[in-house]
Chain A
Amino acid sequence: MRSLLILLPLAGLILLNLPGGLLAGLALPAVAALAIFEIVLAVYLPTAAFPALEQVQQLLHLSTPLDSLARVLLLSIGIVMLASLLVLHATVKAQRRRFNVANVLLISLMGMNGVVLVHDLFSLYVFLEVTSVASFVLIASSGEDTGLEGAFKYLVLSAVATVLMLSGVAMMFLFAGSTDFSAVAAALQNNSGQLLLKIAIGTFGCGLLIKGGLVPFHGWLPDAYQSAPAAISVLLAGVVTKVSGIYALFRLGISVVGLQTFSPVLLAVGALSMVVGALLALRQNSLKRLLAYSSVSQVGYIVLGLGCAGMGGPAGKLGLAAAIFHLFNHTIFKTLLFVNSAALEQRTGTSDMSVMGGLGSRMPITSTSSAIAALSIAGIPPLSGFWSKLLLIIALWQAGLYAYASLAVFVSVLTLAYMLTVQRRVFFGKCREDLLSAREASGGIVLVEAALALVIIGVGVLMPYVMNSFLLPLKGGF
């Protein structure tokens, strides 16, 4: 059943591009249907598969059972893809461009599903590259100067990351004689003292840190997010960098290398990203750029949790659960914030905060949902972001990492500061004269905003239920 997640987008791509353009009008509904299929599959995951698909799964190295982490990621991909499609429908009116973007979205969807599902280092590289190439095209799809520039910067750094990752894969291949996760993991166990293997892990990890946009490798990320068209920045910020950088890092740590080997590095990089991202976000004028730096900062939290997981013991397990929970929460509230910025861009034509002001009375739903997301990202109870940060800080404290725990609390305050700045500059106060004609964003965008805001509140309020049914299994899952 899982291989359908890779095969269906491919089949869709062929069917949509049949000569004569018979099915071209179905492009957006087709992608939406695939996204919904993915959400359903992630939640209900049927165990029985068709015999014919079993062989494809063996071919793609999908034979190992899907763990909770992969399910969380599949759920996130489905949700964000749906949100991005609705924003695309609302912001792009030209039929031809919609069709083109929908095609590349299908490729991107296939790439991300592949990254989540494969159990082989080289296949991981191939699907990462599929995702990246689709992202370059999507960022540049507006055809504007800034889009081309953002895509170019992403392309160069991504190519360097690829080179680093592949050198790592090659050196692991030297010892394991195969690139399968379990074979490499066994080879790492047997040759633990080898310098080459340490270099291999280092270069592979560095490549993933570039793809995830962590400080000091974050240079491309704000440019890419800021220059991408509205619908695409929703997708990029919501899942693409999470899947291609952070998820792959989780996977490498859990299934291949063993987190304890590089836990000090992860802790340091995570803390650095957290602080630098938040400080840079404070001084931005462009809303999308501010949100991009906020992404760097929040991804720092996730990596900090991953580093804590490497400390082992009950605190480590709690740290891992908190990191995965924060990954999901971050997907939801960052998607919501970028949808808000898309709504503002639709009505004011810019994402520059210095020309906005007092829009709260004109766009009540956008304003309210933005406030909910802002409070959640800053960790205000009872919203979802509070719980994941609380769990993370408890885990850090229990692991004896008092300095990192206090730093996480401190950055929460910085987060609140820059998110409230956004609220004040964009939504609060008296409406500016030139914006009096602005009205609430169109139906699709408002629908996404309301739904995601409800998810944030729901996960926060129903925390005891989420804890028992979702997080406790995660703790024991590895």
Chain B
Amino acid sequence: MNNPNWPIFAIFGLGVVLTLGVGFYCVMVTRNLIRALIGLEVLTKAVTLLLVLCGYVAGRMALAQTLAITLIVVEVAVMVVAVSLFLGIFRRTGSIRSTDIQNLKG
């Protein structure tokens, strides 16, 4: 690839990979539902950055912005549903630890 923007892609790409790593670590390690949600948000932010970065390097900034905004809107809907689920879990069990909600097994 002879794109002049390639170094920028490498630097920001490293940032994306690091953020993804932090997000995955958070989702896997934590036992707290709210923290798991924060981990998912961090993951999504990493992907949004990657999308914008790819748009910049490919020279399609306008399209990338549209995609990023759509992504943010969709993500909000998912997070609202997630938080309402957690609220339901908290109201029923009085706990937001994922170890306390393990009725389904087999």
Contact = CB atoms under 8 A, between A and B. Distances in A.
A178 B88 contact: no
Interface residues of A, number: 45
B11 to A, nearest CB: 15
Interface residues of B, number: 42
A159 B44 CA distance: 9
A148 B43 contact: no
Nearest to A146: B103
A149 B47 contact: no
Contact of B67 (A122, A133, A151, A289): A122
A166 B71 contact: yes
Interface string B21-60: 0011001000001001000100110110011011101111
Contact of B58 (A133, A136, A160, A177): A177
Contacts of B54: 170-171, 173-174
Given A159-B40, A170-B50, A174-B57, A146 B104 contact: yes
A171 B54 CA distance: 7
B8 interface: no
Contacts of B18: none
Given A129-B78, A171-B54, A284 B85 contact: no
A192 to B, nearest CB: 14
A284 B104 CA distance: 12
Interface string A146-162: 10111111011001101
A350 interface: no
Given A126-B74, A155-B85, A156-B36, 14 more contacts: A129-B77, A149-B104, A152-B82, A152-B89, A153-B104, A155-B82, A163-B46, A163-B47, A170-B51, A171-B54, A173-B54, A174-B54, A223-B104, A286-B106
Interface of B: 9, 20, 23-24, 27, 33, 36, 40, 43-44, 46-47, 50-51, 53-55, 57-60, 63-64, 67, 70-71, 74, 77-78, 81-82, 85-86, 88-89, 92-93, 101-104, 106
